[in-house]
A = this chain, B = another copy of it.
Amino acid sequence: MSGLTHFDGKGDAHMVDVSDKAVTSRVATAEGWVKMARETFDIITEGRAKKGDVLGVARLAGIMGAKQCSNLIPLCHPLPITKVAVELTPDETLPGIRIEATVKTTGQTGVEMEALTAVNVAALTVYDMSKAVDKAMEIGGIRVILKDGGKSGRYEAK
């Protein structure tokens, strides 16, 4: 047995049947970061106050991205998202921007893909808005740190 629920007995991809799963309150949090040159970091963080809000634009893109999750990920279920929050925090030690996204739903399946999508789209937006000064930025550290609600119980990243 492969354990990959997105394939049927013949190995063909399908959207898993969640019809019989309970409608419960579900939450997931994902995180990631964009690493950049010190100079880029200074421009972005200084810019926040004065010259253009990279982090504000990226936050919004992340929120809107979460709503596109089931259109982007082929076997994802469309879900009535009830909350999205995306936080972008400058971290001088990277140097770069740390991103954390939390998504909630009252539905029949989890929202970790929505949270991951929010992080990814926010990270891509930081890259897009800063690429004129730094093409070598790197996006990484993207993972689920919390998932709760539903039958499989609570998951917390170590």
Contact = CB atoms under 8 A, between A and B. Distances in A.
B53 A53 contact: yes
Contacts of A43: 2-4
Contact of A143 (B44, B133, B139): B139
Q: Quick one: copies of this chain in the complex?
A: 6
Interface string A106-149: 11100011001100110111011111110111111111100100
Contacts of A143: 136-139
A56 B10 CA distance: 12
A18 interface: yes
Interface residues of A, number: 91
Contacts of A44: 4
Contacts of A15: 63, 81, 83-85
Contacts of A130: 4
A97 interface: no
